[in-house]
Structure 1
């Protein structure tokens, strides 16, 4: 009974207010509320800084890419220039070699031509020397024995000389009594003669000569005029009736 009475008599417990506790609680709550805000602000600042740095980094990368492209272009151009210089040097060397070969060929051809001419002249002179000996013998015979027999000797020498020239391809042009040919004859005068066709060679003042097909000297002739017109000669290959 005494315990029950004691419980009944004991006063109820009350909380004792403490001065300043509310302010501390409020400050703690405020502090706890401002911490997330500070962290959020820092995050925003970091994001903004990263956003500011991102364009700068992209610009630097783009600038680096442009520099690299320009460097590659410079290197490529230098390579093309070096290749072009090599090709130009090769072409120059080829041109110099060709020019040297042409000069050697020209000199060799000129030397061969001169040698051929010398051989041809040597052969001709060897054939003419006996004719000169005959002339000397004819002159010596005329000096000792007078002019008797000189004409026959000169004629023999002339025949022999013509034979030497004919051997080397020289042919006399002696067109007396033939039709005038402006390619081989040179008219120096005309004479009236109706007994022969017009433009017939009447007289040969000087013989002409041809070597092969080349006329070395045309014959100097006079032409007969006043006669009938000459009939055109048939062309080679035409059938005659």
Structure 2
């Protein structure tokens, strides 16, 4: 009984494998790249429902137009507010000018009224002077002295009502702010620069010196102690 030829079978098996149709075998391997390319090409196309480029551009233009309109409204509101503030400033400036002019006129009127009041207080003194002169002409110098003294007292009283004060610093320390020294006298019994005599009285109204007093001051006495300054 003949044994099968193993070499022959193996050779046939190899030939059978090698004899496979290369075109048929390549169908499985070659089909994958083509299908992948088709899938990629299909993926580049927009899916159903996705916005197109025109839609995106239109939407962007709509957003820009809306923002521009809102900005224009804000700008217009700012212009209106600026115009309102400018109008208020012009009105306020005009009112301030009117107020300053009115206050200036009011001060002038107050000065005029003050002068009118002072003159009104002094007018009766003119009558008194006229009567005094007439009396002196009729009765001589004795009557004239009494009449002039009475007129002087009345005039001084009228001026004191306006706030007038007399500067008469006899025996006080010399104050250059309210008095003017016109001479010196020797006196060792009092400190230096003591007012010895007032040649002409001074006057002040409030803190303002209307006229300095004309005085003589002493010298030759002890040095005057400086007043203590308040801390």
| Bin of the TM-score, shorter chain as denominator length | 0.5 to 0.7
Aligned: 1:127 with 2:117: no
SS of match in other structure, 1:149:
helix
Query: RMSD of aligned C-alpha atoms?
Result: 3.2
Rounded to whole Å, the distance in 2 between the matches of 1:187 and 1:58 is: 108
Aligned: 1:113 with 2:114: no
Rounded to whole Å, the distance in 1 between the matches of 2:123 and 2:229 is: 43
Consecutive unaligned residues of structure 2, counting only runs of 5 or more, are: 1-37
Rounded to whole Å, the distance in 2 between the matches of 1:58 and 1:181 is: 102
State which of 156, 170, 174 in structure 2 corresponds to 1:162. Answer: 156
Give the equivalent residue in structure 1 for 2:189: 195
Give the equivalent residue in structure 2 for 1:102: 96
Residues 57-114 of structure 1: CA deviation (Å, up to 9, x unaligned): 8332333233223322322221121111121122122223322332333333333333
Give the equivalent residue in structure 1 for 2:82: 88
Give the equivalent residue in structure 1 for 2:169: 175
Alpha-carbon distance change, 70 to 235 in structure 1, aligned in 2, over 3 angstroms:
closer
Consecutive unaligned residues of structure 1, counting only runs of 5 or more, are: 1-43, 237-241
TM-score of the two chains, using structure 1 as the length reference: 0.64
Rounded to whole Å, the distance in 2 between the matches of 1:97 and 1:123 is: 38
Rounded to whole Å, the distance in 1 between the matches of 2:119 and 2:215 is: 31
Shift in Å, 1:144 = 5.4
TM-score of the two chains, using structure 2 as the length reference: 0.66
